[in-house]
Amino acid sequence: MTRAQRAQSQTTVSSATPTRVARATSAKPGCVAFVGSGPGDPGLLTVRAADLIREAEIVITEGPEHPALVRALLGLPEGAEGGPELVDGGFGEDGQPLTHAARAKVVVKQAKRGARVVRLLTGDPFVYASGPEEAAACAKAGLDFEIVPGVSSAAAVPAYAGIPLTTKDHREVTVVTAGDKVDWSRYAETKTLVLLSAVNSISDIAKALVAAGRDPETPVAMTRTGTTTDQHTVTSTLEHIAADARAARMAPPAVTVIGDVVAMRDALSWFETKPLFGWRILVPRTKEQAGSLSARLRGFGGVPEEVPTISVEPPRNPLQMDKAVRGLVEGRYEWIAFTSVNAVKAVREKFEDYGLDARAFSGLKIAAVGDKTAAAIADWGLRPDLVPSGEQSAAGLLEDWPEYDELLDPINRVFLPRADIATENLVAGLIDLGWECDDVTAYRTVRAAPPPAPVRDAIKSGKFDAVVFTSSSTVRNLVGIAGKPHPSTVIAVIGPATAKTAEDHGLRVDVLASKPDVDELVDALADFGAARRAELLEAGLPVTKPSERKPATRKSKATSSR
């Protein structure tokens, strides 16, 4: 059977992965799951909690961060349709916090609709939360419910600060909520004390513990907004913690640890010492392309902020793509060469329009310009026959591309679906190798709309610590829609061509990836951040972020990593 016959006989079911899986039907209608979201880091959400949120038809939120958490779990960008109905269970229409009784009424009302309901609570549902009252209301109404604990801040926050609560030599730990009527003399000899809600009363607590016989030199650590990239820890002693906390402007929420275990932070601090910890990093890419880059930045402690500079749109005249896809099905081509993830997406969408799937590629050789494009092809259930062995670029692809051989190659034509602004080097190179090319505009890249005014102001005034440029077009478009980054902002670029474009626009390049790869770019920026941190510490200076310093001039510090 020929490739054309196979394509004509296939079903109209596409192999594309759906963006939203069907919700499970195993949960009993009207059941409420009280789910704790943990201490702050969304990565600490439990597996059971994540499963229930994905299956939910209604999610009753509590904190302002919860809608974004739900969207992230479902893979939905902001503003996209789909996902469960979101109901605010923390605040009323007047903007005031709801009482425990009022929150319980919201939960019962939604559950009586016969839907699968997740009640998302900050921290743990049964620890300093309204979960007990809400669950009792469900029980009274005859509704089934379950409790999904959240990771405890009493253990998680010290762990993120690099402070173990117990060791082989310190096996006693006590957690105390700092209230008005605590008899602190009872804890004078406790090896390790974990205090919750103690920021405003730490002076009185420290004095009471010292008066009860606790050594004034006992180590103390106070960590605010723990497990998030806003985390900040002050280490001191009982004698000085009140003054040091005031100087650092510590504010709730915070967890305080008192005991010799605090001394281990010097060796075990791992979160706040990440090379890009707390850096606000501008990612000027399309929303579809920013995911893996942003995830890698987060792994190094960065806070990526994605600002689209390019919008990917269909070609103005779709007839050329239609003709090329028909030619592919009819066996017109020997090769198809994908030069970007967007090209793969464009062809895949066109296949879906025609009711085709990956079987139409039977007998066709596939080339990918690099690993990321190859991965997009693999997601389609295909394996590329050619990926550059060296540089992942059009030039690298040409280095490995075979010459046309009329004895070995039954067809001499290549289908090249690309962007409207793609260069002609690849086409010219393939022609030199004896191939004929159908160079087809599969998608257009146009400049995106300017970002909101606060973002533009942040770019120009130096509120971003770094910006990562992944192509020359991202440089041109960012400067075009938002202006040039402030001189204090670290500029990281993916390759020499992007570096030249940045310099042509008056930008000083600080970081240059060792090869044109997104992962290498992020790693190079992390190396820069680590070296900068080491220099500050060696000089006896506090570790600051680039946005916290506004030098008038900057020396050239272009670096290459790996």
Annotate 444-487 with DSSP letters as a single string: EEEEPPPPPHHHHHHHHHT--SEEEE-SHHHHHHHHHHH-PPPT
Nearest CA to 365 out of 351, 383, 342, 346 is that of 383
Question: Tokens 């961060």 label which residue?
Answer: 65
> Are the beta carbons of 57 and 117 closer than 8 angstroms?
yes
For residue 421, the model assigns a pLDDT of: 66
For residue 259, the model assigns a pLDDT of: 96
For residue 447, the model assigns a pLDDT of: 82
Q: Whole-prediction pTM value? A: 0.76
CA gap 198, 202 in Å, rounded: 5
Contact partners, residue 161, CB within 8 Å, separation at least 6: 221, 223, 226, 231, 233, 257, 265, 269, 271, 272
Q: What is the mean pLDDT of each run of 10 residues along the chain (562 residues)?
A: 42 32 44 95 95 96 92 80 90 89 95 94 92 96 96 95 94 89 92 95 96 96 96 97 96 96 97 97 74 89 91 86 92 93 91 89 91 90 91 86 89 90 80 93 86 94 96 91 95 94 96 91 97 96 88 46 38
Strands 436-447 and 310-313: antiparallel
| Burial of residue 197, with CB atoms counted within 10 A of its CB: 0-12 exposed, 13-18 middle, 19 or more buried | middle
SS in 3 state form for 204-261?
Answer: HHHHHHHHCCCCCCCEEEEEECCCCCCCEEEEEECCCHHHHHHHCCCCCCEEEEECHH
What is the token pair recorded at 502? 């940045």
- Is the alpha carbon torsion for 309, 463, 65, 275 positive or negative? positive
String of b and e for 144-159 (b: at least 16 CB within 10 Å)?
ebebbbbbbbbbbbbb
> Are the beta carbons of 359 and 6 closer than 8 angstroms?
yes
Strands 192-196 and 254-258: antiparallel
CA gap 228, 225 in Å, rounded: 6
For residue 92, the model assigns a pLDDT of: 86
For residue 393, the model assigns a pLDDT of: 80
> Are the beta carbons of 518 and 371 closer than 8 angstroms?
no
CA gap 176, 194 in Å, rounded: 6
For residue 34, the model assigns a pLDDT of: 98
Alpha helix (H) ranges present in 75-190?
Answer: 100-111, 131-140, 153-160
Nearest CA to 366 out of 409, 328, 336, 326 is that of 336
For residue 11, the model assigns a pLDDT of: 34
For residue 241, the model assigns a pLDDT of: 98
Containing 374, the helix (H) or strand (E) segment is helix 371-378
Q: What is the DSSP letter of 182?
A: -
CA gap 473, 7 in Å, rounded: 38
- By three-state DSSP, how is residue 9 classified? helix
> Are the beta carbons of 59 and 118 closer than 8 angstroms?
yes
CA gap 416, 397 in Å, rounded: 13
Q: What is the DSSP letter of 150?
A: P
For residue 390, the model assigns a pLDDT of: 81
For residue 163, the model assigns a pLDDT of: 98
Contact partners, residue 524, CB within 8 Å, separation at least 6: 492, 511, 512, 513, 514, 559, 560, 561, 562
Q: Up-side HSE of residue 414: CA atoms within 13 Å toward CB?
A: 27
Cβ neighbour number for residue 332 with a 10 Å cutoff: 17
Q: What's the first-to-final CA gap in the chain, in angstroms?
A: 49
